[in-house]
Structure 1
Amino acid sequence: MDTDRQLGMDCPISRRQFVNGVAVGLGALSVGPLGLPAFAAEVPLAAYPPARTGMRGSHPGAFEAAHALRDGTLKLADAQDAGEDYDLVIVGGGLSGLSAAHFFHQRMGAGMKVLILDNHDDFGGHAKRNEFTVNGRQLVVNGGTLNIESPSRYNRWAQGVLDDLGVDLARFRAANTAEAGLYQKLGLKHAWGFDKETFGADRVVPSAASGWHGPDAATVAAAPLSAAAKAGLTRLLATDQPDYLPGMDRAAKLDWLARHSFRQFLIEKVGLDRQAEWFFSQMGCASFCVGSDATPALYAWVQGYPGFSGMGLGAVPDQLFADLPGGQHGRQREGDLSVHFPDGNATVARLLVSRLVPASTTARTQEDMGTAVFDYAALDRPGQPTRIRLSSIVVNVAHLGDPARAGEVAVRYMAGGTLRQVRGAAVILASWNMMIPYLMPELPEAQKAALHYAVKGPLVYTSVALTNWRAMARLGVSRFTTPTMFHQDVGLTEAVSLGGLKHAANPDEPVVLHLAKYMTRPGLPRQDQHRLGRADLLALSFADFERETRAQLLRLLGPGGFDPRRDIAAITVNRWPHGYAYTYNSITDPVEWVYSESPTRPCVIARQPFGLVSIANSDAAASPHTDAAMLEAHRAVQEVIARRTYPFVPRRVS
């Protein structure tokens, strides 16, 4: 077994937090005033949020008050009234909340007073940015939201935001023509990582295929599989596929595929054994945070997985999934490639903040955001139209009087261990749905139930800064798929540059590895997998992640000369217990919820305005995509404007 010293656990890499998760329960921690765990204000942090390493994402201090509220241990004593009132208070500084502020100022004028409250120490919500400096070189990777997916399918409001911000995808692509295909030019391929616990020995098998849709014939031949597993895969990959649902017409086949998992299809209809199905076990994880056991076989057909060519299904209907935000859940039109900035959609969040709070940065353009530095002290200064108040977790939202006639809403939040209160003529909850019933006990019971339905998918993006990537070059691999290892995906970050931020041009230069872990519990219904996966995730400390990450990289890259003590410069774990928005699943949810904009969907019931409060988030669209978050932000702002009575006296900035 690898020792901690061999793995480099004793090496003085970037700061390790002493408190790095909730491996101990809240009850075991000392409790400060108002029921908050005492450690929340004691965690040492680096000065600049994007450069903080250790446990990020839902980091220590960002969620403890919410859990205490949920558990009934947070005492909502009289809040200290800050004496602040706003035209609009937005709860949540992610892409939906930032877009809501943008839409509101666009319609009502820049002089209106807007306050954005966010529980994290950085803005952007899931659209976070990880920064590293290695050997004097700046490295950047997304800590959450990955890309602008299917941009031609963006709704008009989301596209309008990109246009307003000066996002030019064609210009970005043109600027990256030299970087395009870098890894292929160096002869690097995708590879499958077989682990000794499952297959008896660690083995890396390169593949000519991308790996997204399973193995190729050469991979099957070289894989450490049984003869039966190889025979089944060879049959599945053959061009002359049989009809695995004989006796059904096309409509009946599509219905069967919608109601059964891809795993059921492969095992029960195709006849693969479990060892062979290993190659497809993660199908669905990157979109739904569950694998092939809980993802409809219909989705596998839409995505182009093997096994369907002999079934007479014809072409995938263009409208299938297309009416839902985010396009066809990743199925793109030809030439409509996703765009991935070096830090993912953190570039979009940073552009929004540069417009909302111009004093926070001198950067303005898309290219500027590559190396832009933000003054976080400038985000929450009096006298500016928009104030962004970080490390402020909202715990209560209540109308001051009867919601049907109230003129203001009180918003109570925890900051620095103190319960504070501000007031708003309107409130937009741009947080996530499951928390809202705890924030607003006055909501109707049916709406609370609908809000609770949106169980978000937990996941982790781990960023590992390397001093070089020579080991991957020697192995000829740019990305590993490892379904039964700790992280299921391990790969070099996409070779793209932005302005003055340049990607590594050769293996001797520092680079970042992007690792993904999906917290699944195969065999259970999807929502149960999410709930238990979240508990599993919160039980892991940063030390657990660091040890497992180092060990996995040594197993994969060790044959190429990789030394975790020497080659790892820093590790950032982006933990998202409430990650992807819940999208409806035709295995367990009514089919009409999945393939149409049915008004009976919980997300529609959940997002209804109540009094002076509107709801805007990706949960409200049952879609994890950026354009969905922006669409719902626009709807919520329209509701706010429609509720205003004229004439009114705005709380204009003095």
Structure 2
Amino acid sequence: MDRAISRRDFVNGVAASALAGGLPAEALAAAGRAQAVVTPEIDPNPYPPARQGMRGSHAGTFEAAHMLRDGTLKLADAEDSGEVYDLIVVGGGLSGLSAAHFFHKRVGPGAKVLVLDNHDDFGGHAKRNEFRVNGKLLLCNGGTLNIESPSRYDKWSRVLLDDIGVDIARYERDNTINAGLYKSLGMGHGMVFDAETFGGKDVVLAMGGSWRGGPIELDKLANAPLSPKARADLARLLANTQPDYLPGLDQAAKKDWLARHSYKAFLTEKVGVDSQVYWLFQDIGKASFCVGGDAVPALFAWVQGYPGFSGMNLGDVPADLFADLPGGQHGRQREGDKSIHFPDGNATLARLLVSRLVPEATAGRTQEDMGTAVIDYAALDRPGASTRIRLSSVVLNVAHKGDPASAGEVAVHYAKAGRLVAVRGRAVIMACWNMAIPYLMPELPAAQKEALAYGVKGPMVYTSVAVTNWRPFVKLGAANFHCPTMFHQEVGLTEAVSLGDLKHPQSPDEPVVLHLVKYMNKPGLPRRDQHRVGRAELLAMSFDTFERETRRQLQRMLGGAGFDAARDIAGITVNRWGHGYAYTYNSIYDPVEWVYSESPNRPCVIGRQPFGLVSIANSDAAASPHTDAAIQEAHRAVQEVIERRTYPFVPRRTA
């Protein structure tokens, strides 16, 4: 279990000196202790997508921001670079890159745009993990997975996909055979009942079709270590004829109760199921909200097709319920909604955007090119280019040069390579996390700061594991496993899709990448507190811990089918997202109208208001983790910039 993995990069961050500019010596020393020196032996390939070890929010991306938050970072005088841009975008994720694209499209040739990002790679959460095993290039998403429900995308999100050359119909046609690959090999979905929870030994079961939100076949649980009472309760829960578990209430009152109580409360208090039955459903909502059934409203469970509601006369679930609301768009999670998954997730979108913004950075232009396209990172920030993308640049302060009501420029201070640098922009779009903006912009009104700080992003981990073959999955009869009480709650093969010259392996004897997911939630606490505690625990975990537990879990699950962790694992990349999914409003903890209406009193609406020459664009501004939310908010922010340029006589909002 301790066998070394080649090309392992334990830290994968910028050098600690990147934080040096303007930091006090003791703060710099603390940052340095959190970071090891990356040697050529550990990291022979500095190409960011190919780096292994701890990625996502890697070392060097957040330490200075935490010091700023805690009041231990004191900014010294910055070195004025002399650069002035028409637009500075803080954040190089999908929202920031989309903002740069929309701005160029509206303003035309000659505009100068600078994108600043704290990571060593662009894309924000839309990161790409690359491995080479036995000479074969393998990909996995390091963050954002899907284009969810593209038929529901608004006009500007569809326009952006068209602009960058995304052709969903062609992609689906090209992957017709791949779509049935795992099923053709007799593989469906599996579950792991771990020994720590159920006693005895681990039980690995192939369950057939999809588990989450889909039908459960009782016969597939014949070998599950469930008690007789749990089996009886589960049969009752899944029966075609069920009682009304909220008798005496009319339909509206029932929905109100379900909106204000968790699915756990509904199952355990109203349906009265055994705790082992709830164990089967405890992860409802984690893939969308980073919390489980104890913090997900029961009404969401009804919408998503979970059992227990057939006898309650709730009516039909409208096909578009929640789907178009900007406060979370919960209807997107219904079983059957189409999702488009590229081999590297939505990193393909980020790469297509970069190919348009900085054409010199890659020869790739088409959707298919992005499978194997190589990015020249040195070309991203060249003098004279209309768009410059400056990575490993930690923004620490954004302030107008003078009164925000009349200032002509905004100064942006960032730390990079041991220097504190100031650049100026005639407009700024903050495409970073809402909760960071109050610390970066002390001049904002107090009410707006409070609104920006309200949403607490959900922490999560995507672990990518390159393996030399996937024969154990075929032998076990499952392409993916649900493991609610193990270290990673989800373990599976990457989706069978190809892109251009990048071909998904067709034989189990070929190498492939496994996609593992860990949700850092703390059941029993209010949702936002779960996120805070989970993030603290995540940041305290070392890569060594992740590597050990990943190897251990895979060996336990797959060892009986011939897997050998020491022999078969070729690489591990841990994508740590302490600030992962945008906070969506939750009717257990938040006002009901925030969840089910377009209330202007929602914090996301108050927080995203423009201030002086600064606009705000990110998925937090929509209170939605979906990719189209990030694009929509980028377009809105650019519209605000264009309005100010077009009608400069209109008073700016500064309070």
Query: Smaller-chain TM-score range?
Result: over 0.9
1:120 aligns with 2:119: yes
Q: TM-score, normalised by structure 2?
A: 0.94
Offset of residue 645 of structure 1 = 5.7
Q: Which residue of 2 aligns with 1:617?
A: 618
Offset of residue 351 of structure 1 = 0.3
Cα displacement string for residues 519-555 of structure 1 (whole angstroms, at most 9, x for unaligned residues): 0100111000000000010010000000000000000
Q: Which residue of 2 aligns with 1:475?
A: 476
Offset of residue 608 of structure 1 = 0.5
Counterpart CA distance in 2 for 1:227 and 1:315 is: 33
Preserved contact between residue 438 and residue 452 of structure 2 (Cα < 8 Å) = yes
Cα displacement string for residues 124-167 of structure 1 (whole angstroms, at most 9, x for unaligned residues): 00000000000010000100000000000001111100011111
Q: Which residue of 1 aligns with 2:245?
A: 244
Offset of residue 208 of structure 1 = 2.4
Q: Which residue of 1 aligns with 2:198?
A: 199
Offset of residue 294 of structure 1 = 0.1
1:14 aligns with 2:12: no
When structure 1 is superposed on structure 2, of 567-576 and 239-248 the one drifting more is: 239-248
Taking a change above 3 Å as real, the CA distance of residues 12 and 460 of structure 1, as seen in their structure-2 partners, is: closer
Preserved contact between residue 12 and residue 54 of structure 2 (Cα < 8 Å) = no
Offset of residue 353 of structure 1 = 0.3
1:595 aligns with 2:590: no
Q: CA RMSD in A?
A: 1.9
Q: Secondary structure at the match of 1:459?
A: strand
Q: Secondary structure at the match of 1:634?
A: helix
Offset of residue 405 of structure 1 = 1.0
Offset of residue 123 of structure 1 = 0.3
Which of 332, 339, 345 does residue 330 from structure 1 map onto?
Answer: 332
Preserved contact between residue 207 and residue 221 of structure 2 (Cα < 8 Å) = no
Taking a change above 3 Å as real, the CA distance of residues 139 and 640 of structure 1, as seen in their structure-2 partners, is: same
Preserved contact between residue 89 and residue 115 of structure 1 (Cα < 8 Å) = yes
Structure 1 regions of 5+ residues with no counterpart?
A: 1-6, 649-654
Offset of residue 506 of structure 1 = 1.1
Offset of residue 109 of structure 1 = 0.8
Amino acid at match of 2:68: L
Q: How does 1:165-204 map to 2 (within 5 A)?
A: 165-200=164-199, 201-204=201-204
Offset of residue 329 of structure 1 = 4.0
Offset of residue 48 of structure 1 = 0.5
Q: How does 1:138-157 map to 2 (within 5 A)?
A: 138-157=137-156
Counterpart CA distance in 2 for 1:37 and 1:417 is: 12
Preserved contact between residue 82 and residue 422 of structure 1 (Cα < 8 Å) = yes
Preserved contact between residue 323 and residue 596 of structure 1 (Cα < 8 Å) = no
Q: Which residue of 2 aligns with 1:494?
A: 495
Counterpart CA distance in 2 for 1:301 and 1:432 is: 31
Preserved contact between residue 20 and residue 54 of structure 1 (Cα < 8 Å) = no
Counterpart CA distance in 1 for 2:466 and 2:5 is: 14
Cα displacement string for residues 294-333 of structure 1 (whole angstroms, at most 9, x for unaligned residues): 0001111111011111111121123421222575442459
Preserved contact between residue 229 and residue 272 of structure 1 (Cα < 8 Å) = yes
Amino acid at match of 1:266: L
Preserved contact between residue 474 and residue 560 of structure 1 (Cα < 8 Å) = yes
Cα displacement string for residues 48-88 of structure 1 (whole angstroms, at most 9, x for unaligned residues): 00000100000011111111111112220000111101000
Counterpart CA distance in 2 for 1:18 and 1:55 is: 6
Q: Which residue of 1 aligns with 2:352?
A: 351
Q: Which residue of 1 aligns with 2:466?
A: 465
Counterpart CA distance in 2 for 1:387 and 1:182 is: 42
Taking a change above 3 Å as real, the CA distance of residues 390 and 435 of structure 1, as seen in their structure-2 partners, is: same
Offset of residue 35 of structure 1 = 7.5
Q: Which residue of 2 aligns with 1:439?
A: 440
Counterpart CA distance in 2 for 1:131 and 1:80 is: 36
Offset of residue 15 of structure 1 = 1.3
Q: How does 1:61-460 map to 2 (within 5 A)?
A: 61-200=60-199, 201-213=201-213, 215-325=216-326, 327-331=329-333, 337-460=338-461
Amino acid at match of 1:10: R
Offset of residue 39 of structure 1 = 5.8
Counterpart CA distance in 1 for 2:485 and 2:647 is: 61
Q: Secondary structure at the match of 2:332?
A: coil
Q: Secondary structure at the match of 1:402?
A: coil
Preserved contact between residue 213 and residue 335 of structure 2 (Cα < 8 Å) = no
Offset of residue 34 of structure 1 = 9.6
Preserved contact between residue 468 and residue 511 of structure 2 (Cα < 8 Å) = yes
Taking a change above 3 Å as real, the CA distance of residues 37 and 68 of structure 1, as seen in their structure-2 partners, is: farther
Offset of residue 103 of structure 1 = 0.4
Offset of residue 19 of structure 1 = 8.2
Q: How does 1:567-606 map to 2 (within 5 A)?
A: 567-606=568-607
Preserved contact between residue 14 and residue 571 of structure 1 (Cα < 8 Å) = no
When structure 1 is superposed on structure 2, of 451-460 and 206-215 the one drifting more is: 206-215
Q: Secondary structure at the match of 1:502?
A: coil
Cα displacement string for residues 428-476 of structure 1 (whole angstroms, at most 9, x for unaligned residues): 0000000000000110000000011010000000000000011111111
Offset of residue 42 of structure 1 = 3.6
Q: Secondary structure at the match of 2:315?
A: coil
Taking a change above 3 Å as real, the CA distance of residues 40 and 112 of structure 1, as seen in their structure-2 partners, is: farther
Structure 2 regions of 5+ residues with no counterpart?
A: 650-655
Counterpart CA distance in 2 for 1:226 and 1:332 is: 30
Counterpart CA distance in 2 for 1:540 and 1:331 is: 30
Preserved contact between residue 143 and residue 575 of structure 2 (Cα < 8 Å) = yes
Cα displacement string for residues 557-595 of structure 1 (whole angstroms, at most 9, x for unaligned residues): 000010001100000000000000000000010111001
Preserved contact between residue 12 and residue 55 of structure 2 (Cα < 8 Å) = no
When structure 1 is superposed on structure 2, of 42-51 and 575-584 the one drifting more is: 42-51
Preserved contact between residue 305 and residue 334 of structure 2 (Cα < 8 Å) = no
Preserved contact between residue 303 and residue 331 of structure 2 (Cα < 8 Å) = no
User: Number of residue pairs matched?
Assistant: 634
Q: Secondary structure at the match of 1:379?
A: helix
Which of 20, 32, 40 does residue 37 from structure 1 map onto?
Answer: 32
Q: Which residue of 1 aligns with 2:653?
A: none
Counterpart CA distance in 2 for 1:389 and 1:450 is: 29
Q: Which residue of 2 aligns with 1:3?
A: none
Counterpart CA distance in 1 for 2:346 and 2:608 is: 24
Preserved contact between residue 5 and residue 571 of structure 2 (Cα < 8 Å) = no
Q: Secondary structure at the match of 2:192?
A: strand
Preserved contact between residue 295 and residue 588 of structure 2 (Cα < 8 Å) = yes
Preserved contact between residue 470 and residue 507 of structure 1 (Cα < 8 Å) = yes
Counterpart CA distance in 1 for 2:329 and 2:263 is: 21
Cα displacement string for residues 467-522 of structure 1 (whole angstroms, at most 9, x for unaligned residues): 00111111112111000000000000000000000001010000000000000100
Counterpart CA distance in 2 for 1:556 and 1:617 is: 38
